[in-house]
Amino acid sequence: MVDRKDIGSWLTGPDTSGISKYPGARLGLPESGPGSMARAGRRILAICIDWVIALAISNFAFGGNQWATLAVFAVEQILLIGTLGYSIGHRVAGIHVVRLGGSQAGPLAAFVRTVLLCLVIPAVVFDPDQRGLHDRAVNTILIRM
């Protein structure tokens, strides 16, 4: 015989008891303000700014070649995130990339993160803390300044 509890369980939805109340709670980050997880709006703004900069440089120097635009974008990300912890777009949006412990990402993490970001899919697939697969792969997070 089928128990009514088993039948009704699919109607109640998935168990959400293990999911945190806000992005970054499981990582020990504050809910809002400096040091909190950068939300999607800031991240999208930052990547749009960086892409426009790469597109402008590519149009001027390489005639708008699509691969040159991607290369300029990648070089900007690797150099700036690897040294400063943020790109131009990140700075404008008020966010930066750090390791989970709070230290700077560093050149190797910036390189791997950028390669995965340029593949697009790892950047649009994310966890409950809104960390993309490219950030999870190198143990980094985007936080508000």
pLDDT tens per residue across span 95-130: 999 999 889 999 999 999 999 999 988 888 888 888
This prediction's pTM: 0.82
Q: Mean per-residue pLDDT for 38-42?
A: 91
**At which residue do the structure tokens 């939300």 appear?**
39
Phi/psi of residue 10, nearest 5 degrees? -70, -20
Nearest residue to 135 via CA among 38, 54, 66: 38
